[in-house]
Homo-oligomer: A and B are copies of this chain.
């Protein structure tokens, strides 16, 4: 690293101030100690993010930090848990300067407050390759309350939070594959760079959702994980899928749009299933938390996913990006 500071100094100057939980020992020991209330379990999620794959090298360090934290938070909250700790390993290219690290850690500090989490440990190394960040997020959940992928039952409703496809449009704008006016560009790029994990909603789903997952690979791909694990089939109404109003202002073909909405990915919204008796409670929760929750289809017996258009005609899903398993 281009540096006045060595690894130890980077840790003591930038990362230690973020380690406020007493179990982290201020990053001055070799391990961290986790603690939790009785009757709770720890759950763990981990994601590795690489420059030019999961973000761009010239993205603001603040945005990179936020995205790395948020995609992990999303995993935890989408299962009904409350995030508590995180560990950060970072491989820094040689040209990384102190200014970059300062901005990166400034953003971590803000995200710690946003999500009430504490840095507990990690590793700082130098790499000849791209900036590589591994985050481990540890949350707590009441025993036996985890919302798994495998609980969906025929007859249940399928819901999704927020809006779908906007992050993918942001990515395509950054790649110059979609052109829009600057207001629209900013809107969609922000959706890609700064996902909003549903941290208020997730833990409230514990007694409502029979299965859940967050959308990282794409609506169909991630819903398919639920179907596979639960041994059920999903029927989705394409016209019900929640998309941004701004999408109509983009010059997209019908097929481009379908592909973006169904297979886009990077949304970090929650798909969940629930008994139809819960629909009023879910509607009330949506209003109370000010989070859009949209019913998009139903679970039926069978396997796989079918998506129908307004005229109940099946939409072909063998589109670019759909990972068949």
Tell me whether A274 is interfacial, beta carbon within 8 Å.
no
Interface residues of A in 7-46 (CB under 8 A from B): 8, 25, 28-35, 41-46
Query: Binding site of A, secondary structure by majority: helix, strand, loop or mixed?
Result: strand
Q: Complex Cα distance A1/B134, Å?
A: 19
Specify which chain B residues have a CB less than 8 angstroms from the CB of A150 in the assembled complex. Answer: 28-29
B43, B45, B78, B126: the one contacting A53 at CB < 8 Å is B126
Q: Complex Cα distance A305/B134, Å?
A: 35
Specify which chain B residues have a CB less than 8 angstroms from the CB of A229 in the assembled complex. Answer: 28-29
Minimum CB–CB distance from A24 to chain B (whole Å) comes to 10
B-contact bits for A64-84, CB 8 A (1 contact / 0 none): 000000000001101101000
Contact between A120 and B78, CB atoms less than 8 A apart? no
B29, B43, B44, B325: the one contacting A149 at CB < 8 Å is B29
Q: Complex Cα distance A48/B45, Å?
A: 17
Counting every copy of the chain, the complex holds 2
Tell me whether A275 is interfacial, beta carbon within 8 Å.
no
Tell me whether A128 is interfacial, beta carbon within 8 Å.
yes
Tell me whether A6 is interfacial, beta carbon within 8 Å.
yes
Contact between B125 and A53, CB atoms less than 8 A apart? yes
Q: Complex Cα distance A28/B54, Å?
A: 22
Minimum CB–CB distance from A283 to chain B (whole Å) comes to 26
Tell me whether A101 is interfacial, beta carbon within 8 Å.
no
Q: In which size bucket is the chain A interface?
A: 35 or more
Evaluate whether A128 and B48 lie within 8 angstroms (CB atoms) in the complex, with A33-B41, A75-B30 already known: no
Whose C-beta in chain B lies nearest to the C-beta of A49? Answer: B125
Contact between A125 and B48, CB atoms less than 8 A apart? yes
Tell me whether A209 is interfacial, beta carbon within 8 Å.
no
Contact between B41 and A134, CB atoms less than 8 A apart? no
Minimum CB–CB distance from A199 to chain B (whole Å) comes to 15
Q: Complex Cα distance A129/B89, Å?
A: 16
Tell me whether A206 is interfacial, beta carbon within 8 Å.
no
Q: Complex Cα distance A182/B259, Å?
A: 59
Specify which chain B residues have a CB less than 8 angstroms from the CB of A90 in the assembled complex. Answer: 48
- The listed residue with most B CB atoms (<10 A of its CB), out of A45, A47, A81, is A45
Starting from the known contacts A8-B323, A29-B150, A91-B132, 14 additional A-B residue pairs (CB-CB under 8 Å) come to A29-B229, A31-B43, A31-B44, A33-B43, A34-B41, A35-B41, A42-B42, A44-B138, A48-B91, A48-B134, A50-B128, A50-B129, A53-B127, A129-B129
- Residues of chain A whose beta carbon lies under 8 Å from any beta carbon of chain B: 6, 8, 25, 28-35, 41-50, 52-54, 75-76, 78-79, 81, 87, 89-91, 120-123, 125-130, 132, 134, 136, 138-139, 146, 148-150, 213-214, 229, 323, 325
